[in-house]
Structure 1
Amino acid sequence: MSEAPRAAETDEELEDLLGFLRDARGFDFTGYKRSSLGRRIRKRMADVGINAYADYRDLLEANADEFRALFNTILINVTSLFRDADAWTFLQHEVIPELLERLGPQDEIRVWSAGCSSGEEAYSLAIMFAEHLGIEETLTRVKIYGTDVDEEALRDARSGLYPGRALEPLSPELRDKYFEVNGSQFSFRPDLRRRVIFGRHDITRDAPISRLDLLVCRNALMYFNVEAQTQIIDRFHFALRERGFLFLGKAEMLLNDADRFDVVSMRQRIFRRRAGNAATPYQPAPPKLRPHFGGELQSVARNRQVRDLVLDAAPGAALAVDTDGIVVLINNHARVQFGLTTNDIGRPFQDLEISYRPVELRSLIDQATHERRTLRVNGAERRGAGEDAQFFDITVQPLVGAGGLPAATNITFTDVTVATKLKAEIKRVREDLETAYEELQSTNEELETTNEELQSSIEELETTNEELQSTNEELETTNEELQSGNEELETMNEETRIRSEELDEARAFLEGVLTSIAAAVVVLDKKLNVKSWNRGAIDLWGLRTDEVLDTPFFGLDFGLPTQRLRAVVEDCVSSGKRGAPVEIDAVNRLGRSFVCSVQCSPFDGHRGGVVLLMEEGRSVGAT
């Protein structure tokens, strides 16, 4: 088979596998870049020892746990508290003050962390707003949605538990303020935790959360192709209010959306939705209104109306939540199925386990209410401690009361566990039979090709023998070359040793000459730093060589006023000619005053510099 048809076949098999993942588990990866997506899937296939996409699909159908390992390989859950500190600092000091200034003191602040992974980003947002507004105001005004497609990561996010190393980006003050010790881990403070809602959401398929003031989606767009990125940006544009902020990752930017987004900081990838742009493809639902009921009688009538509507719409396990998020009805099926009681009626829905297990229902309730349409989740898995998995089809249905105003949301659960397991088993058996038939059919073809492969192997072995013989000859030649090179290195080493001895002898000779000269001899380089200070200079001025070596000559403090020599020395350096002797009044190391005769000569042997010869002349009196 040629390479081109094989590549086309591989691409087709990859697309079939992606379609299977979408249909079987609801994970739609068709918008991801094929290069990185294929590489990660092949990495997981290599880990389990499978080469063909079709064989790996068989493994997924036979082993449900393999889905989790594959999704963990594909979905790179890299996150941390206040990741990329510079970007968060800009957001905190520049963006948040502008956002709060635009809103009224009582307005709700809606924030969405899309692709939140294990929740650190959503909790970072909660900390940031709490530091700006204070804990109490944050609890009443701020609502943060954290969404991802990875259910395992969302479970970690909902727990709010992190090891100590995950909190290292926080100062000790912030850590103690927002986290509590929980065994060997730290848990996010419970009151702020209730303002963060986590739920499964696919940004390529699901309707976006609307009326947002801030949308954070960092380093998620870069994994999608251009078409998918365009669709996601359309959803983000709809989700944001006018002048709402979009916070992307370092590897992402909006280069072709200048008509819809203003650049707040290109370096930090923060953008602002421009005013006056029509949002597509979704239209926000009318604002959630609540009818005014006065007194106890109206409240009873309202509850009776809601109860009647829910009872009519829920044939199986069902419960109803009013517009304030309070549970107003739980039918008998729901109490038996999920361990609820009549005491749970009147409690906030978010306090019940059913609000987030088997799926995050709070965000679905908000979406269904705003869009005024029924939402369905098929095959949601619910697994308790030590229990077999159960599967439910869930319907979230907004209920409308008198005057067309939202009254409540009805949630029904249909147990499809038996049907789901039976369907999966039938599918597995059918595919096993198909696989067995294909294996039998391919066995005959494999036997026919075995003789050809054996003959080809014999020819390859003969060729390999000739190549080995040639390689052996090349190695012998290389050995001879290495031996010759070794001899040359030994010769060079001997020459280097001789040259080193000659240099040592020349250095000793020069040191001896300088030492034997009674006069003071000082050598300066072209920067007028001291390079040599002979014995005569030590005896005359009382400074040791190690005190003056590589020191600026005109910065030394001894008995000779060196500044009177600067012009003579600089003239000698620039002209390259010996200057006339200069007599200067000086004081030697013993404190005796005398006239010092200084002769300045160019030092051509060291890339510039001068040689100063200093001799003691007539005495001018003792000090």
Structure 2
Amino acid sequence: MAENPPADPENDPVTDPGIDDGFEALLTHLRETRGFDFTGYKRTSLRRRIQHRMDQVGIEGFAAYVDHLEVTPDEFAALFNTILINVTGFFRDPDTWSYLRTDVLPGLLEARPADTVIRVWCAGCASGEEAYTIAILLAELLGPEEFGRRVKIYATDVDEDALAYARAATYTERELQGVPADLRERWFEPVGSRHAFRKDLRRSVIFGRNDLVQDAPISRIDLLSCRNTLMYFTPQTQAGMMSRFRFALAPHGVLVLGRAEMLLSHGRLFEPIDLKSRVFRKNRSVAAGVTPMSPEFVADRRGAGTMDRLREHALAAGPVPQIVLTGDDVVALANQRAEELLGVGARDVGRPLRDLEVSYRPVELRSVVERVRMNRTAERITEVRLERAGETRWFAVDVAPLVAADGGRLGVSVAFHDVSAAHRLQGELERANAQLESLYEELQSTSEELETTNEELQSTVEELETTNEELQSTNEELETMNEELRSSNDELQSTNDEVRVRSGQLDGVNEFLESILSSLRSGVIVLDRQLQVTVWNAVAEEMWGLRREEVLGQHVFNLDMGLPTDGLRTAARKVLADRDHTDVLEVDAVNRRGRTVTVRIAVNPLLGTDGAVSGCVLLMD
């Protein structure tokens, strides 16, 4: 790759250098504090999403937003959720999944021996729908027993919250809309109001964090799915990711991309199996080799014959800068173009290559020349940059062995081919591809937003129709009630007296419950199903330094206290999903005095009068 690639419109600085410096400082802060490297993302869409979040919290300027992140740790989660748009679904783009099921996967399974493991990598898996879709297709083809024995699906993402949701493997009715009814019945089990992916198949799906920009790829992959993820990155970052994907795939492996990804600039790595479905395999074509030169050079140039002199003059007048070395890496010939461009001329004939600047500048030649001489195989060095008189030019260097008719090694030829024009065209093509892919990204984003808006409008219309019917029914009831109220004034008065008595009794009960909570020596926190605080006793106030009126109605994991949330979050979700499940944790936390303490937390379900789980109770000692 070139040392200074052509300017990328996605990464060009904005007009105000202060804004650009602040934006880059923000990306550096995110990388150093939270380990998320967004520098490879396309600048236009990345800046737009971050600016959207800044507008939501009412902050102007990237430097001010860095200060806000430092004093508000919970803001990181909201920012990452804004940047990492986890748009996914079961059997999204049905035509692609149908093609995989009928044309790709059967051939892939048939080509693999029956005792080998089928390795699948779902990169950028978000909340897991795509990984489980692949699992369903393979289970349909193999059967559940052979699937459990042979299949390993590695699902990765950088969003830890999305991975936690995917590991739970339970989805709502709406999230399963894309799953056909027969497949839903076979591969999902009802759990309360949700549906869980079958546990015997779930064991074959392994979720883990992997940053596609900087982490090592998973190897020996038979099927690699990375759909609508590449479009968020710059062309340079995409090139590195595609190289990792090519390394990850087995020789027979298959790569599946999303509809929004064109793979226009990486055709040398992959070739399409079906371009419409975005299914690719490794490009197996072999570039044509460079034909070695055939003239035989004699050691004593002064005694050369007429044919040798003719060859020498023809070389000297050649349009391509060329240097000929003997078997001992001594300069035998150098033409006029080589002297003009590289400074190697007749005065250097007889000098060892290692004593000349051209041996290491503009490119390291010594190791390549040695390799070509020993292997007798030509090599090409691409993307060689040379600056002369303020002008930058690009060359491809062909290093070819010179072999005598009897097979003996004569030397090595080094030729520099000017590819500056092709390099400029390639840069223009990559910029055009980047602009095209950016347009595809924006169109895809707009389409998804329109789909979401349409669904919301449809839901609103249905709610309005229902409300209208309810209002009509209510109007009729009110008319009837009006007549009854005229004849029931005495009864209402009596009822009001009874209500006042019962209200007094209820106040006494509330005071009694408050007294019990205040008397407990354990911290008591009661959460509803949305993990919002409904009860917070005095001991909890003492432990964490937050008053009850500050926390009631707040999400417990958004509270600024010294209690680690990773294990507690998982335990709370399990209790909410299973009324018979309880959990006990011991965690190291920081109390309101700033001291590190070990806290034992018992997590129990909160059951309603109907026996359903209406929340959870946390007891802290």
TM bucket by the smaller chain?
A: 0.3 to 0.5
TM-score (norm 1): 0.45
Bigger Rg, structure 1 or 2? 1
Bigger relative contact order (CA 8 A; separation at least 6): 2
TM-score (norm 2): 0.45
